[in-house]
Amino acid sequence: MKFINDCDSVLNNEINSEIMKFDRNSFFNNIEELPVLQNKVEMNSKTDLVIIGTGMVGITLAARAWHLGFKGDRITLIDGNEYFAENFFRRTKNSEQKIMRSSFIHHVAPNEDINLADFTRLKHNELTNIEKEQLTLARMGERSLPSLDIFLEHVKHVVINHNLHKRAFKFSADSIEQNTTGKWIISDSEGQKIESKYVVLAMGQSPKENMYKEHSINAHVDNFKNYLNEKVKTVNIIGGGNTSAHIVKSCLDRNLKVNWIIRNEENYACTDIPHKYWRDEGYLKFSQMTLDKRMEEIKRIYKGSAMLEHKGIFDDYKKDNALTVFDNATIQEIDKNKTIILQNKTRVESDLIISTIGFELKKLPQIKNGINTFNGFPVLNDSTLEAEGLKNLFIASSHSALSLGPAAKNIDGARIASERIFKELAKREGIEKYNVKNILENLTNWSRNTPVLKK
């Protein structure tokens, strides 16, 4: 078992598993509370900047773009979903996650705006004691975990205060093509189009195909609670990541017996990627690697882990024999009676199998001018995140990992992506406010990046 408590902390606080028992029902139980996207018939056919995706990354990018003057008719957000942050909402609610895994400093607001800790402070009277403790740690710069509800409330605040909800439309990008004047035309499957000078893709991930779908449910798609009934006493849960750990906890808390089947070692860590990848020392080193080495690093880092706070809870359940962990386990077969047979011939019986085996890159729209990829990831300019050979088409979110490093898929990866993309857009637009030549290069919060040979 691994327990990696390298938490960017000087106080070395005890890990407090009580935080996982956090409960407050006053915020965000319904998806309808999220800002909604508008009908695409209301959408203009021309704009200056289209952002594809209104998840955490798209929101971060659009709020940053607002400060550079991309507002009103100059910006359009499109998404196939109905609500802002819908994927994140559904996925965290499905797994009954109540606390963010990332610290208070990871949020969607640009530096100019109210950050998550200050936003939380304004709600001080409504906070539970655990939240108040975490907020104190946040204001000391220590590792500190916001509640999911407050985090979502802050996301909503950022969307509304930048008027993003007035500029966002339910529109699924099917294809993208650059016309002879250099403008990008984005079309949906019904032939509706929007033309834009700049496009930024922030498309996230979709759940992997469930290879055991005949005999199990996929927790990233189905709500596991809908499958619990009085006949289900023992559950087999496949996958060693954070979603899995939350569902293991939820089932144990419902007095179910859980067998946790993990392909790698049972692993608890502060965050799902090492902290250095949110900072220069991580991503500058990464950018000096060849593409092959970058891929190796991404695959190595993207192995799942549970939160440190899960461990104390799981230790107690293990003592009571309610939880059994099968790690370094290879599944050979699953039979129709919901028994998992491992390669070492162990038979793990259950009444319900829940699979949580992760995500893959969301399929890109058809890019008619063609796009260079490496192992499925688009090849980008490391400094600007512009797709190689595709002027004014930028790629953020999970798809930018080959240039941005493992942080690409996380909320704070959106901050790093914003820095690279908008530094370049500000230059191209000659935005005076930022006195591009002198000031922009020296701002400490803009990432500094020395391009190196990729081969």
List of residues contacting ligand FAD (CB under 6 A): 52-58, 78-81, 86-88, 91-92, 95, 97, 100-102, 106, 172-173, 202-204, 242-243, 362, 365, 397-398, 409-411
**CB of 196 vs ligand FAD, minimal distance in Å:** 14
> In 3D, which of 303, 434, 439, 293 has the Cα closest to residue 374?
293
Q: Which is nearer to ligand FAD, 216 or 243 (CB)?
A: 243
* Contact between 79 and 52 (Cβ < 8 Å): yes
**CB of 211 vs ligand FAD, minimal distance in Å:** 19
Helices H / strands E in the chain, number of each? 11, 24
**CB of 231 vs ligand FAD, minimal distance in Å:** 27
**CB of 298 vs ligand FAD, minimal distance in Å:** 15
> In 3D, which of 57, 64, 55, 60 has the Cα closest to residue 37?
55
What CA–CA distance (Å, rounded) separates 426 from 119?
28
Q: Which is nearer to ligand FAD, 101 or 154 (CB)?
A: 101
Map residue 20 onto helix, strand or coil: helix
C-beta atoms surrounding 436 within 10 Å: 16
Tell me the residue number closest to ligand FAD, measured at CB.
Answer: 55
**CB of 338 vs ligand FAD, minimal distance in Å:** 24
**CB of 273 vs ligand FAD, minimal distance in Å:** 9
Q: Which is nearer to ligand FAD, 173 or 258 (CB)?
A: 173
**CB of 102 vs ligand FAD, minimal distance in Å:** 3
Residue with tokens 């606080």: 13
C-beta atoms surrounding 439 within 10 Å: 11
| Residue 424 CB contacts under 8 Å (≥ 6 apart), including other chains | 383, 384, 386, 394
**CB of 356 vs ligand FAD, minimal distance in Å:** 9
Task: Tell me the HSE value of 1 on the side-chain side, using a 13 A CA sphere.
Answer: 10
C-beta atoms surrounding 375 within 10 Å: 11
Q: Which is nearer to ligand FAD, 105 or 331 (CB)?
A: 105
Q: Which is nearer to ligand FAD, 19 or 52 (CB)?
A: 52
**CB of 170 vs ligand FAD, minimal distance in Å:** 9
- Name the amino acid, one letter, at 109: A
> In 3D, which of 73, 77, 31 has the Cα closest to residue 54?
77
Q: Which is nearer to ligand FAD, 323 or 414 (CB)?
A: 414
CA distances 268 to 241, 271, 322, 402, Å, are 9, 9, 19, 26
- Name the amino acid, one letter, at 114: I
CA distances 211 to 299, 348, 356, Å, are 20, 18, 11
Q: Which is nearer to ligand FAD, 83 or 314 (CB)?
A: 83
Q: Which is nearer to ligand FAD, 58 or 406 (CB)?
A: 58
* Contact between 352 and 232 (Cβ < 8 Å): yes
What CA–CA distance (Å, rounded) separates 309 from 268?
8
CB neighbour class for 281 (10 Å; exposed up to 12, middle 13-18, buried from 19): exposed
Q: Which is nearer to ligand FAD, 119 or 434 (CB)?
A: 119
**CB of 57 vs ligand FAD, minimal distance in Å:** 3
Q: Which is nearer to ligand FAD, 334 or 361 (CB)?
A: 361
